[in-house]
């Protein structure tokens, strides 16, 4: 795995509906990563993460409501939930890329980054969920991959109250 840190928005409201499915089909779930929308992966190596700079990037952002409104599939087989609106997630990603252009999302593999909550990382599973799921983006979490191969929360950065 080429990265050791990532920035995510946890989505605890989705856990009751997606936890079992993710454990069976999304490798990150078994490694400790909660249901989330990714903001930036890979991020900086652990020793190079400037947490004060992360907090500064996030300072202008307020928490926001969104819904997971539909199931989608990427051509390579990833099954995911679409957050609506997705623009606030894109704005968060853009702010981090502007500050750390040397760490493009997904190592620059995708010209357009589509905000999503992964359900299955490669299996073309059938998904039957009660949608929409109402959610609130309250924080951006910096997670770090430990030597044991499990992801852990390094720091939570609360988004401002509106």
Contact 67, 132 (CB under 8 A): yes
CATH of the domain at 99: 3.90.1140.10
pLDDT, mean over the chain: 93
Model confidence pLDDT, tens digit, residues 67-106:
999 999 998 889 999 999 999 999 999 999 999 999 998 7
- Name the more confident of 19 and 126: 19
Q: Which domain holds residue 149?
A: 5-158
Structural domain count, the chain: 1
Burial of 46 per CB tally in 10 Å (0-12, 13-18, 19+): middle
């Amino acid at each position: 795995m080429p990265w050791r840190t990532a920035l995510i928005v946890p989505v605890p409201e989705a856990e009751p509906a997606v936890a079992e499915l993710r454990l069976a089909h999304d490798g990150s779930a078994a490694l400790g990563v909660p249901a989330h929308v990714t903001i930036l992966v890979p991020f900086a190596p652990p020793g190079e993460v400037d947490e004060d700079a992360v907090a500064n990037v996030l300072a202008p952002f307020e928490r926001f409501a969104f819904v997971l409104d539909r199931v989608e599939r990427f051509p390579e087989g990833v099954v995911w939930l679409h957050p609506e609106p997705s623009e606030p997630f894109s704005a968060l990603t853009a702010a981090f890329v502007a500050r750390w252009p040397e760490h493009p999302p997904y190592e620059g593999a995708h010209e357009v980054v589509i905000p999503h909550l992964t359900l299955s990382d490669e299996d073309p599973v059938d998904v039957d969920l009660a949608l929409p799921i109402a959610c609130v983006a309250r924080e951006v979490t910096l997670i770090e991959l430990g030597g044991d191969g499990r992801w852990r929360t390094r720091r939570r950065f609360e988004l401002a109250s509106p």
